[in-house]
Structure formats: C-alpha cells, structure tokens
Amino acid sequence: MNRQINTTTIDATGKSMGRLATLVAIALSGKDKPGFSPRKLSNIRVRIINASKINLNAKKIREKEYVSYTGYPGGLKKASLGAKIKKFSFQGPLKHAIRGMLPSNKLRDPRLMNLSIEN
C-alpha cells in the first residue's frame, strides 16, 4: 500500500513561538484534516521556514528558563532561552515547545520525526 505524504510549509516570520507551536502541533497530529484519527499516525510532514525570524522580545530571551531534573541530588539544571538559542539555534526551543503541545503517548516521537525546521 502506497501512502501519499502531504507536506505543509509554515512561514515563521513575525509569529510568536507559542502560536507557531500550536499551529504546528495541530498540523502534525492531523486534526486539521477530515480523516483525523487520534490513534493513527497521519501522513503529514510539516516544514517550518524562517525559524530565526520568530517574534521574541528581549525580556523573554533573557528571563524565560527551561528547567530539567536529572533525578540526582543537586541535579536541577536551568538554562535561559538565550542560552538555548545560542546552543541549538532557534530549532531547540521551538521543537521543545511543539513537543510539549503534542500528547505524551507513543505517537509523539514519530510525529516529531515528521517535523523539519529551517533557519
């Protein structure tokens, strides 16, 4: 059986990170298509272009923190949005936001494999 793969291209110019992540999460899960089924992986690829032109203000870049815990004593790690952008470009924080908006089941990682982000 040959499935046709549909590609959706989203331009990130001038959009905020959260609103863009919402659009991408809806498209990746296939909720904007008439044949939506929550337990099936849709044949949709999402391509984000101009990710470096996301609308972010200086205060958010400086003050927003990403927190992770390793499970060990003293293992609380914090990084600002600016540090994440410096390390991973805009792809890391944007992918983190999209991952948080997808349901946490065994289809989340395969759906994220259908995502490509270009600066």
Asked whether residue 86 is assigned to any structural domain, the reply reads: yes
Provide the number of structural domains found in the chain. 1
Distance CA 81, CA 79 (A): 7
For residue 53, the enclosing domain spans: 6-117
Asked whether residue 1 is assigned to any structural domain, the reply reads: no
User: Could you give the dihedral angle defined by the CA atoms of residues 69, 75, 76 and 81, in that order, rounded to the nearest 10 degrees?
Assistant: -80
pTM exceeding the 0.85 threshold for the entire prediction: yes
We report the CATH number of the domain holding residue 25 as 3.90.1180.10
Asked whether residue 70 is assigned to any structural domain, the reply reads: yes
Distance CA 81, CA 66 (A): 7
Tokens of 52: 């470096």
**pLDDT digit of tens for each residue in the chain (119 aa)?**
567 889 999 999 999 999 999 999 999 999 999 989 999 998 999 999 999 999 999 999 999 999 999 999 999 999 999 999 999 999 999 999 999 999 999 999 999 999 999 98
CB distance 66 to 100 below 8 Å: no
